[in-house]
Amino acid sequence: FFPGIFIISGLNYMLSPGVTINRDPVRGRHVACTQPLAMGKIIIMEKPFAHSLDAKFTTNMCQTCLCSTDSIIPCTSCNLVAYCCSACQEADRSNHGKECQSIRQVRPHNPTQTLRLMLRVLRRMDMEVQKGDPAVGVAFGELVSHMDQIDVGTKEKYAQMAKLVRDCKLRGEDVAAFDDLKGIISMFCTFEANNFNILNEDMQVVGAGVYLMCTALNHSCTPNAVVTFHGPMLQVRAAKNIHPGEEVTISYIDLAASTDARQQELLPRYFFECRCRLCQRGTDGRQRDMEMGLLLDVVNPMLKEVQMQLDDLRRCILGGHTLRKAEDYSAARVKYAEALGLQKGKLGPHHIFTFETFEGLVQCCIELEDFGEALRHCATSLPLYEWMYSVAGAHPLVGLQYYTHAKLAWLAGEEGSAWASKQRALQILLHTHGPEHALVQGLRAFGPQEGRSPD
Ligand SMILES: [Zn+2]
Ligand SMILES: [Zn+2]
Ligand SMILES: [Zn+2]
């Protein structure tokens, strides 16, 4: 299944043959390849050094394998973690034992997800040191904290959190790192720039993890690789055909954004200015930015008036986003519908506002179980998704949108278009997630099957 596996104890990762982690003055630590990697091929697999679940999921998702089941077994001592079976509980015992005592020690406070992750990291590091394994220490040494670039307010917040971490140290526990407040603050800074959000099948963030090897993957707005999760296991696959000598890159951010917006998201968190092909604003970068902001409005030649309309539209969409986040889907839908009216006939087909409006409308209509309208909007959104993420090769969000469309079309009895969207979703998700992933297996089993005559 996966030739060329090697695992370094304590790190738990595998590189595909021909893939190496290198360092040079220009790119720093980075992932390179010496053999061609076909689209869909696994490049790296890595188990987290430590991970913790978002508070929303701690009681309904297994801490170890991240599955959701109705028969979840909570830890009866703390009720703050849960497991799907006794094997998963046993597998986490070395991590949760002391964590559980810490949680009870600081009651009535509940340690946040980031705090729990820090506890797990400090204790696991200590365990590896006890074992005499230098690999983990070396790997942590490679991570950049950007400590000197982080603003005073954020550092102050981390200092408060560091004190809470110290409070979690158990009586008689001999882990010096708990008392090194400066070290903990620096580690929080490292978390911010290096940790991966763990996503479920719907690309929803369920937790965060420390993946020491995958931090070597650099960012590009035209990445050639994609990250997905199999439980807590991180998998990197080729999203395009990668040629020998090319650097393997992923995107740290959502690529449905203009160059300015992408730069504004990258800089404060990762402290670098992206110099990818799109960000250097060559012909295709400029073309993409222009299309994302293309105005078709000819009724109002006065630029100021156009600008005012755009401001109204932006406010309307942002209002929709805010309401959606607060799970007020019917009010959000009204805002998005209003935005749709405002932009009618005025924006180019790939305008970022149009993309955001449809993205919002589809989700709101599904939440409100208005599947007919969801289907209509979803169908309109498909070419937008294809265009928006084409810079990234095979992209999970495009695959998922086709999957959603297939489900909605199937529900509406439109067997032919359900079949077509299922095939396109499969084509994409096989590359991004691979055939073993539960998402792909669910998609295969769903709705229209081969051998059935499409209408
Ligand atoms: Zn489990
Ligand atoms: Zn517990
Ligand atoms: Zn870029």
- What is the mean predicted confidence (pLDDT) over 308-333? 95
Looking at the structure, do residues 346 and 422 belong to the same domain, yes or no?
Answer: no
Residue 207 lies in a domain: no
Same domain, 332 and 439: no
Boundary of a domain, candidates 358, 380, 402: 380
State in Å: Cα 107 to ligand 2 middle: 12
CA angle 436, 437, 443 (to 5 degrees): 105
Indicate if 340 and 403 belong to the same structural domain.
no
- CA of 60 from ligand 2 middle (Å) equals 14
Of residues 309 and 372, the one with the higher pLDDT is 372
- pLDDT, greater one: 251 or 131: 251
- The DSSP string of 164-179 is HHHHTSPTT---GGGG
CA 200 / ligand 1 centre spacing (Å): 14
Residues in the chain: 455
Mean pLDDT in the chain?
Answer: 92
Question: Does residue 170 belong to any structural domain of this protein?
Answer: yes
CA 118–ligand 1 middle distance (angstroms): 22
Give the helix, strand, coil percentages of the chain, each rounded to 5.
50, 15, 35
- Residue 129 CA: distances (Å) to CA of 9, 91, 159: 12, 20, 25
Could you tell me if 61 and 176 lie in one domain?
A: yes
pLDDT of residue 15: 92
d(CA 1, CA 156): 48
Q: Report the pLDDT value the prediction gives residue 319, as an integer from 0 to 100.
A: 98
Distance 220 CA to ligand 3 centre (A): 5
Q: Among candidates 404, 416, 389, which has minimal Cα distance to 443?
A: 404
* Number of the ligand closest to the Cα of 262: 3
Mean pLDDT within 46-66: 94
- Whether residues 61 and 158 share a domain: the answer is yes
Determine the pLDDT at residue 7: 52
Residue 138, pLDDT above cutoff 90? no
In a domain, 258, yes or no: no
> Same domain, yes or no, for 294 and 327?
yes
Q: What amino acid occupies position 135?
A: A
Cβ burial, residue 243 (10 Å; 0-12/13-18/19+) = exposed
86 and 165 fall within a common domain:
yes
Tokens matching residue 21: 């982690």
Residue pLDDT, tens place only, 263-308: 999 998 899 999 999 998 788 889 999 999 887 765 555 666 777 7
What separation in Å is there between the alpha carbon of 275 and the centre of ligand 3?
A: 6
Q: Quote the ligand 1 centre to 84 CA distance (angstroms).
A: 4
Least confident of 123-137, 294-308, 409-423: 294-308
Q: What pLDDT band is residue 236 in, cutting at 50, 70 and 90?
A: very high
Question: Residue 224 and residue 384: Cα distance in Å, rounded?
Answer: 20
- Asked if residue 265 is part of any domain, the answer here is no
CATH number of the domain that residue 299 is part of: 1.25.40
120 touches 175 (CB < 8 A): no
Q: Are residues 358 and 454 in the same domain?
A: no
> Measured in angstroms, how far is the CA atom of residue 388 from the centroid of ligand 1?
36
Q: What is the pLDDT of residue 297?
A: 61
User: In the block, which residue shows the tokens 């991590």?
Assistant: 95
Whether ipTM tops 0.90, in short, is: yes
Is residue 6 a part of any domain in this protein?
A: no
Indicate the number of domains in the chain.
3
Read off the pLDDT of each residue in 388-411 and give the average, rounded to a whole number.
Answer: 97
pLDDT of residue 443: 97
Q: Which of 218, 227, 224, 223 is nearest to 242 (CA)?
A: 224
Which ligand number lies closest to the CA of residue 96? 2
Q: In the predicted model, is pLDDT for residue 52 greater than 80?
A: yes
Are 78 and 190 part of one and the same domain? Answer: yes
| Span from the CA of 307 to the centroid of ligand 3 (angstroms) | 27
Which pLDDT value is given to residue 4? Answer: 44
- Domain end: 380, 408, 441, which one? 380
Output the CA 374–ligand 1 centroid distance in Å.
34
**Mean pLDDT, rounded, for 100-115:** 93
Give the per-residue pLDDT at 142: 87
**364 and 413, same domain (yes or no):** no
Q: Are residues 374 and 397 in the same domain?
A: no
Residue 269 CA, ligand 3 centroid: distance in Å: 14
User: Which ligand minimizes its atom distance to the CA of 263?
Assistant: 3
Ligand 2 centroid distance, CA of 110 (Å): 12
- 250 lies in some domain: no
Closest ligand to 93 CA? 2
- The predicted structure's pLDDT at residue 3: 41
Query: Three-state DSSP class for 217?
Result: coil
Which residues touch 280 (CB under 8 Å, ≥6 apart)? none
The pLDDT of residue 2: 43
Domain closes at, from 355, 380, 405: 380
Ligand 2 mean position to 181 CA, how many Å? Answer: 25
CA 443–ligand 1 middle distance (angstroms): 22
What CATH number is given to the structural domain containing 432? 1.25.40.10
Name beta bridge partners: 436: none
Q: Give the mean model confidence (pLDDT) for residues 47-56.
A: 95
Q: How many CB atoms lie within 10 A of CB 334?
A: 16
Q: How far is the CA of 123 from the centre of ligand 2 (A)?
A: 16
φ, ψ dihedrals at 22, nearest 5°:
-115, 175
In this predicted structure, the answer to whether residue 1 has a pLDDT above a threshold of 80 is no
Ligand nearest to the backbone CA of 232: 1
How many helices and strands, by DSSP H and E, does the chain display?
15, 13
Boundaries of domain holding 372: 281-380
**How far is it, in rounded angstroms, from Cα 138 to Cα 193?**
18
User: Residue 378 carries which DSSP code?
Assistant: H
User: Which residues, at least 6 apart from 340, have a Cβ–Cβ distance to it below 8 Å?
Assistant: 357, 361
Query: Is residue 256 included in any domain, yes or no?
Result: no
Residues 334 and 266: their CA atoms lie apart, in Å, by 32
pLDDT value, residue 92: 95
Do both 62 and 109 map to the same domain? yes
How far does the centroid of ligand 2 lie from the alpha carbon of residue 428, in Å? 40
Q: Is 223 among the domain residues?
A: no
Which strands sit side by side in the sheet containing 233-238, from one edge to the other? 13-15, 42-46, 233-238, 225-230
Distance 227 CA to ligand 3 centre (A): 17
